[in-house]
Amino acid sequence: MTLLATTLARLRAAWDRVGLRRAAGSAGWMLAERMLRLTGGLLVGLWLARYLGPASYGRYNFAIALSIIVTSLTTLGLEGILVRELVRRPADEGHLLGSAALLRLAGGLGANLVIVVLAASLRPDDPAVVALTAIIGVAGVLQASSVVDLWFRAQLAARDAALARALAYLAAVLLRVSLILAGAPLIAFAWAFVAEAALGAAAILVAYARYGRNPLRWRPSLAGARALLSDSWPLIISGLLVNVYLRVDQVMLAWFRGDVELGIYSGAVRIAEVFPIVPNTIVAALLPTIIAARAAGPQRYAQQLRQLYGLVAALGYAFALPVTLLAAPLTTLLLGPAYTDAAPSLVVLTWASLFGSLGVARSSFLTAENYTRLHLATVALGCVVNVGLNWVLIPPLGGTGAAIASLVAYWLAGHGSCFLFPALRPTGVAMTRALFWPRFWG
């Protein structure tokens, strides 16, 4: 039998497993919705970059970066933990979702206050940026409704949720396009950011209601909240640190080199953000099957993880290699002549995205094993290195220095750190093999 025939036979046998088929269907809907976001976000984001120009686009991205760093606390590290508990204890759905929503609502309100204080401290002479940051931070309060999305993930039933979010996102895209065509001021796009979050929250709740569920029947409790926090507190800090080393480069770039340099760099980030959406969606959709594979036995568990790492690595190369060759004409085509200097940053950030997505794939293993403290340790290491390298490299190299800092930090946090902890060395070896031979079949 030829290699092609053998591969097709194995894929057909794998597809016949009900769990994989359901996971693939769920992943397909999630991927379709996120691809819509990818397409809309890229096109409108690039149009917005051209419309605002590097200086205003830099101020806009400074506000978003600062908001995302702080509002990362509102997720409270609950994504993997809540999905895991919903898979294990489906009868406790109302208790789990209610307690998680209570935590996220409280976190959102507290984070919004912190955002305003930080923005005023960092840009005391720029009240417009403070206002931008405060408005965008309101979206974090709406994160409480996103626990419903985690219920859909646990059920491997993403279709209705994906459709609802897609419709809400299309409405938000049309709003942004209307603002650009109307020549709206910068502050209007901050309100559009909040409108998108509000529409998404309403849509996911409507989809949840179609399954006969009602959030008013949830049973939140302080005891349930404490139980979730007991597992997720390292992930809370990890989430904050992840967003620090994902966004601190933009905050520091504005500080050291100004809004124009940040605007140009943000254009490169906008393009580089295309790649992680696909593998990260697949990882999120397959988390329930990874958890189930662990219960099925070590052999199947190890095989599923190897295939996941191989798939993520293969997707990374498929994106990074052509972007490396075409970065210069690509930035000019998509962003315009004002952003020509973004090309070197784009190349480096594209390779950084490969390691970032491998780190996200590894988080499935960490969640299944409940290695939350190890997750925290690896992320903290990457964060410290990223901040340090940004401090050293941004003054002389600008955006390219920030991109290099991200590349090193993403590799260290997601892959290199595996070899520093005995419990992570086997998965580090599996990731290394995936990088050299990204086999995701058989």
Query: Which of the two residues, 7 and 280, has the higher pLDDT score?
Result: 280
The predicted pLDDT at position 288 comes to 75
pLDDT-derived band at 221 (thresholds 50, 70, 90) equals confident
> If DSSP codes are grouped into helix, strand and coil, which group holds residue 437?
coil
Confidence of residue 8 (pLDDT cuts 50, 70, 90): very low
C-beta separation of 239 from 68 below 8 A = no
Residue 292 burial (CB count, 10 A): 16
For residue 315, the surrounding DSSP H or E stretch is helix 298-335
pLDDT tens per residue, range 370-399: 787 888 788 888 889 999 999 999 999 999
The pLDDT tens digits of the residues spanning 301-323 come to 888 888 889 989 999 899 999 99
Question: What pLDDT sits at residue 12?
Answer: 53
Please state, in angstroms and rounded to a whole number, the distance separating the CA atoms of residues 61 and 75. 21
**Gap between the Cα atoms of 262 and 400, Å rounded:** 11
Q: Does the residue 6 lie in any domain?
A: no
Contact between 115 and 251 (Cβ < 8 Å): no
**What does the DSSP assignment read for 174-235?**
HHHHHHHHTT--HHHHHHHHHHHHHHHHHHHHHHHHTTT--GGG----HHHHHHHHHHHHHH
Is-above-0.85 flag for pTM? Answer: no
Does residue 157 fall inside a structural domain? yes
**CA 61, 63, 67, 69 torsion-angle sign:** positive
Rounded Cα–Cα distance for residues 8 and 28 (Å):
20
What tokens does 396 get? 């002389």
212: left (phi over 0), alpha (psi -120 to 50) or beta: left
Q: Report the percentage of the chain scoring pLDDT > 90.
A: 27
Contact between residue 234 and residue 24 where contact means Cβ atoms under 8 Å apart: no
Contact between 229 and 194 under an 8 Å Cβ cutoff? The reply is no
Instruction: Decide if 50 contacts 220 (C-beta within 8 A).
Output: no
Question: Does residue 201 sit within a domain?
Answer: yes
| Dihedral, 123, 124, 128, 130 alpha carbons, nearest 10 | 70
For residues 22-50, average pLDDT:
74
Is 3 inside any structural domain? Answer: no
AA letter at 105: L
Q: Average per-residue pLDDT in the chain?
A: 82
pLDDT at position 16 is: 47
For residue 344, pLDDT beyond 90? yes
Backbone φ and ψ of 179, nearest 5°: -65, -40
Residue 427: other Cβ atoms inside 10 A: 22
Residue 137's domain spans which residues? 14-436
CA 297 – CA 5 distance, rounded (Å): 28
| Rounded Cα distance, 402 and 394, in Å | 6
**404 within domain boundaries:** yes
The owner of tokens 């997750």 is 375
Under a CB-based contact definition with an 8 Å cutoff, are residues 48 and 193 in contact? no
pLDDT beyond 80 at 231: no
DSSP class of 132 = H
Q: Is 13 exposed, middle or buried (0-12, 13-18, 19+ CB in 10 A)?
A: exposed
Q: How many distinct structural domains can be found in the chain? A: 1
Residue 183 — left, alpha, or beta (φ > 0 → left; ψ -120 to 50 → alpha)? left
Q: Is the dihedral of CA 430, 30, 345, 140 positive or negative?
A: negative
pLDDT band at 159 (very low <50, low <70, confident <90, very high): confident
pLDDT tens column, 240-280:
676 776 788 888 998 899 889 999 999 999 889 877 877 87
Distance, CA of 442 to CA of 437 (rounded, Å): 13
Tell me how far CA of residue 420 lies from CA of 353, 375, 425, 436, in angstroms: 22, 12, 8, 20
Instruction: Return the percent helix, strand and coil in the chain, to nearest 5.
Output: 90, 0, 10
Does 441 fall in a domain?
Answer: no
Tokens of 189: 């796009």
Region 74-85: mean pLDDT is 68
Whether residue 175 lies inside any domain: the answer is yes
Is 5 domain-assigned? no
